[in-house]
A and B are shown apart, each in its own frame.
Chain A
Amino acid sequence: MKGMSSIVKKITQLLSGMIFLYGIYIITHGHLTPGGGFAGGAIIAASLIILVLAFGGDELTVVKRKEGSSVTESLAILAFLLFASFALIIGTNIFFHNYLPEGIIGNLVSAGVIPLYNILVGIEVAAALFTIILAFIIYKEEISK
């Protein structure tokens, strides 16, 4: 896939970092403010997607990136399942048990396991949306051949 003009490239470079940071903010404050894993993950995916669209890349690198993001997605879900069933393994017999200390309401580090779930959901959503876009790009490359 061909990249875009140098103006677009430069502006994308400037913006994508900020978008990425904003996504992280939304994810980590998921238990305090509106938003959370899904919304933040979508924002992070957007920051990665505009980079791919602006800079392009040959087909091989796109396929490689897709494999990487697909594995990341699976690993995030596995980690989520592990966190959720951790209490089952250690013997409290409760699925999705909130076993960490809950802290003070309103602090960034509070609410036990929920921020961790948010972070994993964020990784999974970002990787999944990125994979979908890359699959579209690969499909378009194959069609145009």
Chain B
Amino acid sequence: MSWLITLFVILPMTAAFLIPVIGKLIKGFQKTITSVVFLFLTVLSLFFLFDGNTEVYSYKIGGWEPVNGVPIAIYFVIDGFTILMLSIINLIGFFSAFYAISYIRRFTAENNFYTLLCLMVGGMNGVVMTGDLFNLFVFLEIAVIASYALVAFGVEKNELEASFKYQVLGGIASLLILFGIGLIYWKTKTLNIADVSDILKYSNDRSFLLFTQIILIAGFGLKGAMIPFHAWLPDAHSSAPSPISAMLSGVLIKAIGIYCIIRLFFNMFIINHEISLVFIILGSLSMVLGVFLAVGQWDIKRLLAYHSISQMGYVIIGVGIGMMILANNGNKSVAALAITGGLFHLINHAVFKSLLFLNAGAIEYKTGTRNLKELGGLFAYMPVTYSTSLGASMAISGIPPFNGFFSKLLIILAAIKGRFYLVAFLAVVVSIITLASFMKFQKFSFFNKSSITEKPKIKEVPFPMCFSMIVLAILCLGLSLLIFPGVRETVLTPVVDILMNTTDYSSTIKDI
């Protein structure tokens, strides 16, 4: 493993700044290098994922060794959770970049697009790898500032408005996160997550801790678009170019929102009852309100964006239930089940939601509209888009052979076993309404023959777009395998172990 992990930051950054220099001279350089870099990083992260090494590994930047047991270097920490997130980020990044080869031809300034995409992926890789609070903030800013620019990439009225809204709310979120990090630094005099965790273990200043935790929940909640903080998401995710919507919805809100919350609240702070209750309530609110807002939408991408809020609610509920049971010293196996369900849903959501956004992009690419009322009868003309989006729709609504079913099942089972009957009931109801809204999406875009005669010229989208959609659709089915014993032990169990044994993280890193 060793120094290879720094490549996850070095390569995207190098690609990002080679593109403005060489991209002008060599035609097609930007597309090639972005896809090649992301493909290489995907292969590397999958190699780390399946090499069977589940130890926590830390890499000291600059080679500074700890002084008297106090870590002074910036650490990159690699454990199961990080590797899993790296695989998702780079995999979805590769498919988005490959899809963009055809899609982005309509826009000018392709160089800028690929530069910003590389920066965003590099930033997210840094966020999930770093073991240092301030470094986390820096990488987070790299990722979100690139995403502000990418949301505004169309430079029309709607795009600019969405980007401005996103910038204002994102700026507030960054301020809150920085304030929270400042408070932690003031109290503990250190920024290393493992070291902070070690010091907070002996701290008894309860009100300070709760205040910091709430500031951080608000900050990362804004980035991850939980429901009271969701106002920017439908606009931003629907007006970005489709490959970017897939990245934002599939990866960004997870890497800089949910990942940071899970990492900090499980491995840095001490788990407590109140905060886990806050998570369960926020998760239920996101899940229920998100789906009710989604079902009435007629713009495909807005509908998908609201579903992102709703599906992230499932993840937060899964993790929150696990946290609550751990805090109350309940049954550990139920907690493990809940956390497994949450994380599994996180992976699944990344795959099927990016696929759905790519489908929406394909429809928009060929018909020029995103309004469901103007579409119809596309199934005869766009067979690949139709079949892949059918698969993704069934996955998101939880139809059995697809991956969404298994993760929702795990979350609902854990909720029932942990006696959260209301949450389990809501999860089932939300799943049914999700099915309804995706039946609406399928009917109005692909069947509904009213307007079929007006569009005889529509054909299937070009190869790069088809390829990305087909592979993601296969993954929608294939990821169901993660539930079976044997595969689950290599991928999900190490992550759950890291989160279940909350203090192991800091003690392992301090020992290295």
Contact = CB atoms under 8 A, between A and B. Distances in A.
Nearest to B63: A94
B69 interface: no
Contact of B20 (A71, A84, A96, A97): A71
B21 interface: yes
A93 B17 CA distance: 23
B2 interface: yes
B20 A98 contact: no
Nearest to A92: B63
Contact of A78 (B3, B18, B60, B63): B18
B6 interface: yes
Q: How large is the interface on A (under 10, 10 to 19, 20 to 34, 35 or more residues)?
A: 10 to 19
Interface string A92-106: 111111100000000
B62 A93 contact: no
B102 interface: no
Contacts of B62: 94-98
B20 A74 contact: yes
Given A78-B18, A95-B59, 8 more contacts: A71-B20, A75-B21, A81-B14, A85-B6, A85-B10, A94-B61, A95-B6, A95-B62
Interface string B1-31: 0110010001001100110110000000000
B302 to A, nearest CB: 30
Nearest to A99: B63
A78 B17 contact: yes
Contact of B61 (A75, A77, A96): A96
Interface of A: 70-71, 74-75, 77-78, 81, 84-85, 88, 92-98
Nearest to A85: B10
Interface residue SS majority, chain A: helix
A77 B14 CA distance: 8
B3 A95 contact: yes
6 nearest A-B residue pairs (beta carbon): A94-B63, A93-B3, A95-B6, A96-B62, A74-B17, A74-B20
23 contacts: A70-B20, A71-B20, A74-B18, A75-B21, A77-B17, A78-B14, A78-B17, A78-B21, A81-B10, A81-B13, A84-B10, A85-B6, A85-B10, A88-B3, A92-B63, A93-B2, A93-B3, A94-B60, A94-B61, A95-B3, A95-B6, A95-B59, A97-B63
A140 to B, nearest CB: 17
B75 to A, nearest CB: 12
A95 B17 CA distance: 19
Contacts of B20: 70-71, 74
Nearest to A95: B6
Contacts of B10: 81, 84-85, 88, 95
Contacts of B17: 74, 77-78, 81
A81 B10 CA distance: 7
A84 B13 CA distance: 12
